[in-house]
């Protein structure tokens, strides 16, 4: 599975719109790429929220 597909899977999972077919496909391989991409996506989301809050409170 390519990084593009893994990133799409992580974003879909974060929004809760993962299809059953894609979920089963992801469980065939190692979970570590998904864990790393998920942690990175959440970190970027938190940093984005912090930046928006700082802009609003100025």
Q: For residue range 3-46, list pLDDT tens digits in order.
A: 888 888 888 888 888 888 877 877 787 889 889 999 999 999 99
User: For the CA atoms of the chain, what is the radius of gyration?
Assistant: 14
pLDDT at 22: 77
Q: What is the pTM of this model?
A: 0.74
Q: Which two tokens stand for residue 39?
A: 């942690």
Contact 30, 1 (CB under 8 A): no
**H helix and E strand count, the chain:** 3, 0
Q: Note down the domain range covering 46.
A: 3-56
Q: Which residue has the higher pLDDT, 57 or 18?
A: 57
Residue 6's alpha-carbon distances to 35, 39, 54, 58, in angstroms, are: 10, 13, 31, 37
Number of domains in the chain: 1
pLDDT at 53: 97
């Amino acid at each position: 599975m390519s990084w593009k597909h893994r990133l799409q899977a992580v974003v879909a999972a974060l929004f809760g719109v993962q299809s059953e077919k894609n979920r089963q496909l992801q469980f065939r391989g190692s979970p570590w790429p998904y864990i790393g991409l998920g942690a990175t996506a959440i970190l970027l989301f938190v940093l984005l929220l912090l930046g928006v809050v700082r802009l609003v409170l100025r």
